[in-house]
Amino acid sequence: MLAALAAPGFYSPSGAQSKRVRFEQDVEQVFTNHEDVRLDSQTAAQRVRESGRLSVQTPARDLEIILSPNDLRAPQLPREEVIDGESCARFPMAALNTYKGSVVGMPTRTRDSTVDDDIVEGMIITGTSHIFLSRPGNIQPPADAAD
């Protein structure tokens, strides 16, 4: 009986439902509008590496994004481990995971997109809005990795 009188957020028969409500509240504090998307970052990264394309299906639209590598690192940037003020080891540059591009059928451009086996993030700029591809983990840590 006490649970029935408590505030809705105080008791929930389903922890997952309560977690989802908290997630929605957190997202709404950051964005004026959002659409949920589930995306396997490993599959997406493989497709981008093979074809230069990323498909994102939202409830309101299907985005086919064409991406090309965009190395943001300085070419002369050395990768070294320094111990006691002396250069000890040089390391090769890590694989490129930053891209730029556009959305098929829309006058847009993407900006500083990151795509690798662990993350797919970026920003799409249109004439009137900005669309962010972002993991909810950046907003609320307990989010599912595919969200």
Range of the domain at 124: 37-147
Dihedral Cα 18, 20, 23, 28, nearest 10 deg: -110
C-beta separation of 113 from 98 below 8 A: yes
Is 10 part of any domain? Answer: no
* pLDDT tens sequence across 105-117: 888 777 778 888 8
Is 2 part of any domain? Answer: no
Is 136 part of any domain? Answer: yes
Is 83 part of any domain? Answer: yes
7-21, 33-47, 122-136 — which is least confidently predicted? Answer: 7-21
Region 120-139 average pLDDT = 78
Amino acid at 57: Q
Q: What pLDDT, on a 0 to 100 scale, did the predictor assign at position 17?
A: 64
Q: At a CB cut-off of 8 Å and minimum separation 6, what does 11 contact?
A: 3
Is 14 part of any domain? Answer: no
DSSP states of 47-116: HHHHHSEEEEE-SS-EEEEEEEE---S-TT---EEEETTEEEEE-PPPPP-EEEEEETTSS-EEEEEEES
What Cα–Cα distance (Å) separates residue 33 from each residue in 25, 74, 93, 142? 12, 36, 38, 21
Is 13 part of any domain? Answer: no
Region 33-41 average pLDDT = 83
Q: Domain total for the chain?
A: 1
11-20, 56-65, 117-126 — which is least confidently predicted? Answer: 11-20
Distance between CA 57 and CA 17 in Å, rounded? Answer: 24
Is 103 part of any domain? Answer: yes
- Residue 22, CB-side half-sphere exposure with 13 Å CA sphere: 16
Is 11 part of any domain? Answer: no
